[in-house]
Every structure is written in structure tokens, then in C-alpha cells.
Amino acid sequence: MDTKEELSRRIAGEIVLSASPAATIRKWREVFGVSQRELSEAMGVSTSVISDYESGRRRSPGAALIRRMVEALLSIDEARGGKVIRAYERMLGRELRTEAILDIREFAEPMHAEELVEIVKGRVVASRSAMQKYLYGYTVIDSHRAILELSAHEFLKIYGLTTERALIFTGVSAGRSPFVAIRVSTIKPGMVVLHGLSEVDALGIRIAEIERIPVAVSGCADRDELIRNLRRKTR
């Protein structure tokens, strides 16, 4: 099975099995960076049809419409260069194999940043005003291994399907190095979570404020508990 077919099955499966199909449809449309109008035009339906499904005004779409929706999203992505398809391939580990990445997953439904803070037993320490956003996935990273093993190019591959995700760094001592790496990168995460420290380096906080990236410190006992809590929100 090629990457495109595998991704299409994943999207369709999530919509069908979701407790909230409306939220899941919206999640995937936003992951692909496609507007309701673009999707409706590619599917040959009115924009109100997409809006009604995403708001829950219409019941969950049938298999035929879900298939058309998935095919439209993938076609639009291919026309734009296949950014999401390639990102999915990277997420599966076909282009990056490293023990620096402890876990990388997408949420079953869009998750508000404040909800993620609760899941990781965290407290917000920077850019609290930027917390009003949705996240679509997370990557748990061994901070020390990432510094030693990942090149600048490889570091960009930790973003999975979308940059609107939480990068969760474990084993951090001061919290400065992750922010320095993010500062010099052209791609920024939706949120950063630090696990394994009580106070964050002042420079790290300053960088987060400049970049408007919310930062939380996790209070989970260990990284196993951290990953367990996060996985409950994924498929």
C-alpha cells in the first residue's frame, strides 16, 4: 500500500469511527490547509454543505461522500506539491528513523491548547495570551538525543502532518536549547511542553514570547505517564 492510499484510509477511518465526525472533518480540512470553499469546489458541492457537516447541522456523511472528500483533499495537496502526503510519509518513519522521537501522533479531533495543558498536568509559563488555539497532534522528543542526533534538516521532520502541534521535550535541564533550535528554524510549533524541570531558562521564555509560542511545564511523574495520557486522545 502506498503512502497516499494509506493516508486516505486513515482519514476516512477516523471520520467514520469518530465520536464527533464534524470535528474530525474540520480537523483534516485544516491539516491540509484547505478552506471550506476550496474543498466544496473540488467536490462539486456548495460551501454550505461542508459548513453544515462541520457544524453538525447535517448528520455524518455517508461512505460515498467521505470518499469524495478525502479524494478532494489529497488532490488539492498533490496540486500544491504534496506537502501533507510527504509529511505523513515522514511521520511513518520512512524518511527519519531515530530514537530521539519517542512518540509522534495526530489527535483524533482538534484539541484546544488549554486541554493539552491539563492532560500533561502542566502549567503555562510563557505566551499565555497565545493559548487560544487548536492543536492537531504532538511529538514527544528526547531532548538530549535530539541535540546529538538530529541535523537541522532532520529537526524539521518532527512536525508530523502539521506544525500546529505540541512539541514535547523530555529530559530537559534548563529548556534553552529547544527554543534556540526553534528560533533559528523557519517552521514554528503551535505549542511547546517541557518535561523534567521546574524552572525554565529566562532566555527560553524570552524566545517563546517573541515567537508567540505558548509554553507549559509538565508535572507528569515520568515520560511514560506523559505519553500514556497523550495517547488516550489519539487513534
Q: Which of 68, 64, 69 is nearest to 24 (CA)?
A: 69
Contact, 160 vs 87, CB < 8 A? Answer: yes
Q: 517541557: which residue's cell?
A: 194
| Cα dihedral sign, 129-221-229-32 | positive
Indicate the domain borders of the chain: 3-88, 98-231
Q: Going edge to edge, which strands form the sheet with 215-218?
A: 101-112, 134-142, 166-170, 191-195, 215-218, 122-126
Q: From first to last of the 235 residues of the chain, give the pLDDT tens digit.
A: 578 888 898 889 888 888 888 988 998 998 899 999 999 999 999 999 999 999 989 887 888 999 999 999 999 999 999 888 887 876 665 445 667 889 988 887 888 999 999 999 999 998 888 888 889 999 999 988 887 777 766 677 787 778 889 999 998 877 778 888 788 777 889 999 999 887 888 888 898 899 999 999 999 999 999 999 999 877 6
First to last CA, the chain: 20
In this prediction, residue 185 carries a pLDDT of: 78
CATH number attached to the domain at 98-231: 3.40.1390.20
What letter would DSSP give residue 44?
T
Q: Is 58 helix (H, G, I), strand (E, B) or coil?
A: coil
CATH topology of domain 3-88: 434 Repressor (Amino-terminal Domain) (1.10.260)
